[in-house]
């Protein structure tokens, strides 16, 4: 059974998932960019397509990628911290299930090319792969730009592109003015 098939048929935490298991992931052995996010929301759970919601539209805009490029696994790998919709919690979705990353991440990372750019989208991915900066605020991590992760190599931390990010961006205009143009250039260079 292929790794993709193993992931798609995973039921490890099915009794904990309010909508049942529906793992969402995208990768190939040629992916040039790896995006590690949080966990699918209800819209993504319904479609089975990663980032198939307003957050995905915003993220693609930040990266300067159209849908065809974004959803080409030979160009972009999409690996969440939790592969299935985790349910609701106070103030939004519950955190990603803790079973997924230890079960699947190393195997997926081994399947990806070594020469890649990794984007850590949101605090859960950053806490996992930038443990030395856990005490730093999201703003500080993003402002510091590119980091080196022991497990991943060069990584760029980004805020999660949910609707709430608009308030953060209003308080931090440097993100749109300075970070996003550099990010789009870096992404374009990685894919060329």
Separation of alpha carbons 127 and 90, rounded Å: 21
Integer angstrom CA distances of residue 136 from 171, 187, 192: 17, 25, 33
Tokens linked to 71: 């959803």
% of the chain surpassing 90 pLDDT: 83
pLDDT reported for residue 150: 80
Integer angstrom CA distances of residue 191 from 38, 39, 52, 63: 23, 25, 21, 11
pLDDT reported for residue 58: 97
pLDDT reported for residue 146: 86
Give which of 34, 140, 41, 133 is closest to 79, Cα–Cα.
Answer: 34
Average pLDDT over residues 35-59: 94
> Can you give the pTM of this predicted structure?
0.95
pLDDT digits (tens, 9 = 90+) for 55-99: 999 999 999 999 999 999 999 999 999 999 998 988 788 899 999
Contact by Cβ (8 Å): 88, 46 = no
pLDDT reported for residue 153: 84
Q: Provide φ and ψ at 102, rounded to 5°.
A: -65, -30
Give which of 78, 87, 69 is closest to 4, Cα–Cα.
Answer: 78
pLDDT digits (tens, 9 = 90+) for 111-160: 999 999 999 999 999 999 998 888 899 999 999 888 888 888 889 999 99
């Amino acid at each position: 059974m292929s790794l993709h098939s193993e992931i798609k048929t995973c039921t490890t935490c099915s009794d904990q998932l309010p909508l049942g298991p529906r793992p969402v992931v995208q990768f190939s052995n040629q992916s040039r960019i790896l995006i590690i996010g949080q966990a699918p929301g209800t819209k993504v759970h319904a479609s089975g397509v990663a980032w198939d919601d307003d957050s995905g539209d915003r993220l693609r805009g930040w990266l300067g990628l159209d849908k065809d490029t974004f959803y080409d696994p030979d160009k972009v790998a999409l690996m969440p911290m939790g592969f299935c919709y985790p349910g609701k919690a106070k103030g939004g979705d519950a955190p990603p299930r803790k079973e997924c990353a230890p079960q699947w991440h190393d195997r997926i990372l081994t399947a990806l090319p070594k020469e890649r750019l990794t984007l850590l989208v949101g605090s859960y991915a950053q806490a996992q792969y930038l443990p030395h900066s856990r005490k730093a605020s999201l703003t500080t991590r993003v402002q510091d730009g590119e980091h080196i992760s022991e497990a991943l190599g060069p990584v760029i931390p980004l805020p999660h592109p949910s609707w709430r990010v608009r308030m953060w961006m209003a308080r931090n205009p440097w993100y749109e003015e300075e970070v996003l143009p550099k990010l789009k250039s870096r992404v374009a260079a990685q894919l060329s």
